[in-house]
Structure 1
C-alpha cells in the first residue's frame, strides 16, 4: 500500500467526491436526519451540481482530496467564513467526508491537517457540526476545536436538525 496523498481536487474527481459525500451522509447521519431524505440522496445529482459549480467556486475556497493507490478516499473543503458572528478574515471548514469503509485510517486527520495549513494565516477556523453527531464532535475536539456557544437549526427533509459551531486558532 502506498502512502496517502492530499492534493487539490480536480474536475475529474467530482463523481468520486460526490459518491463519498453521499455515502458519508448516509453513514454519519443515520438516526440524526430523516431516513427517507438520506435514502433519496443521489451521487449522480450531487456530481452534476458539483461539476456545474466547480469553475465558479468563490475566491479563496479550496477543495482537497485524499487518495491512496490512485483512489480518492476523502474530500474536504475550506475557505472564507460564510456566516455572521465571526471576525474579518476567519476561515471555515465547510466539510470533511471520508469513504465510510476507510474511517479510522487517518484520512480525516490528513484532510483536516491540510485544510488547517491553508487557513494558517486566518485568526480562527470555524465549522458547524450536528449537535448529536458525537463521533464528529470527538474528532474535532481531539484536533483542538471547541464549541463557542453558537447554535442554529439546519432544515433537512422537513426536519430541523440542531448544529453547533466549533472554533480553533490555526495553531490549536
Structure 2
C-alpha cells in the first residue's frame, strides 16, 4: 500500500471511494433512499471543485493498493470553524470497507497531520456523524469530543460530533 499526495487525475478514484464509503459507513445512520442515490459521478463534480480551489491551506492524500487502485483518501487544511479554538481540520477520511482495519486510516491521518504541521498548525479538529464507529478510532488516537451540532443530510436532521486535538503529536507517534 502507498500513501501519496492526490492529483487531479485521481478524481475518478476518489469519487468512487467517496460514494461507496458513504453507502457502507452511513447505512443504518442515514436513510437508505438517500444513500442509494449517491454515485461516483455525483461526487465527481464536488471533487473537481475541490481540486480547482486547492491552495496552500488544503491538502488531499490517497491510499493505493499494490495495483495502484485508490482504496482511500483524506483531505484537510485550515479549520473552517471560527468559533472553535483549533487551527487545522481533518475535512474527510474515507476508505473502502474491504480495506478498513488494516492501518490505512492511521497512515492517511498521519499524512494530513504532517502536512498541517508543515504549515505550522498546532491543533486539529474533525466532525463525525454520531453513531459512526470512527469516533472510537479518533478517541484511540487522543481526540477529545469538544462539541456537537445538528445538521441536515437529505431530509434528515442528524447529530454531528466534533473531536479535537490540542496537540497533534500524539497522532504521529
* Structure-1 residue corresponding to 2:76: 78
Structure 2 length-normalised TM? 0.90
Q: Does the 8 A contact of 1:119 with 1:170 survive in 2? A: no
- SS of the residue corresponding to residue 79 of structure 1 reads strand
* Structure-2 residue corresponding to 1:104: 101
Q: CA separation in 2, counterparts of 1:58 and 1:158?
A: 33
Which of 120, 144, 152 in structure 2 is aligned with 1:155? 152
Q: Deviations over 1:86-133 (max 9, x none)?
A: 23x610000000011111111111101111111223221000011221
Gaps of 5+ in 1: none
Which of 24, 28, 34 in structure 2 is aligned with 1:27? 24
**Map 1:125-144 → 2, pairs under 5 A:** 125-133=124-132, 135-144=133-142
Q: How far apart are residue 59 of structure 1 and its match? A: 4.2
Q: How far apart are residue 167 of structure 1 and its match? A: 0.4
Which runs of 4 or more aligned residues in structure 1 lie more than 6 Å from their structure 2 counterparts after TM superposition?
Answer: none
Gaps of 5+ in 2: none
RMSD: 1.4
* Structure-2 residue corresponding to 1:146: 144
Q: CA separation in 2, counterparts of 1:76 and 1:8?
A: 10
Number of aligned residue pairs: give it.
166
Residue 63 of structure 2 corresponds to residue 66 of structure 1: yes
